[in-house]
Amino acid sequence: KKMSEDLPYEVRRAQEIYHLFGPKGGEDSYDIIFDLHNTTSNMGCTLILEDSRNNFLIQMFHYIKTSLAPLPCYVYLIEHPSLKYATTRSIAKYPVGIEVGPQPQGVLRADILDQMRKMIKHALDFIHHFNEEDQDWKPLHPGDPMFLTLDGKTMPLGGDRTVYPVFVNEAAYYEKKEAFAKTTKLTLNAKGIRCSVH
């Protein structure tokens, strides 16, 4: 609907959020929105996933779960073939829903707040690691993203074997148009040697 003052407050607010963080599905939409909720239900730490094919979020959620251990953290998949969710987070390319409970309405619980803070900290840590540019000596598998073009296209590594990039972002290589050198892992064996004294 077009923006107008006679629309209900919720509709006007939804339109403002849509224009601020969206448009939904657009290139300029926000990458990630964390949608934080506490619940009266005894759900503990719960991450909400709306797409079982979203590799970035699946890896992020695994990182959060592993980092929180031994505190349990659950993933609630609410994927539906035809239903599209109209949550604030759904505007983003990577929507993250977080529910932590139990917390009665009108009551502040320090332990619940602490769990929420830890979940967000681990999520932000994952994003920080993901965004690190220098990946020297880290394995790069065939099909892994290798470059991101200025127009947002991902270029994967071709070939059929894992490589280990080195000299990533070496300034002297710019004029050669080399982003990095590809290496492979090699195990060397040496025969025993004897030192003879004369």
Catalytic residues: 99
Nearest to 119 by CA among 185, 37, 30: 37
Residue 166: exposed, middle, or buried by beta-carbon count in 10 A (0-12, 13-18, 19+)?
Answer: middle
Distance from C-alpha of 164 to C-alpha of 62, rounded to nearest angstrom: 24
DSSP 8-state symbol, 131: H
| 8 Å CB contact between 103 and 77 | no
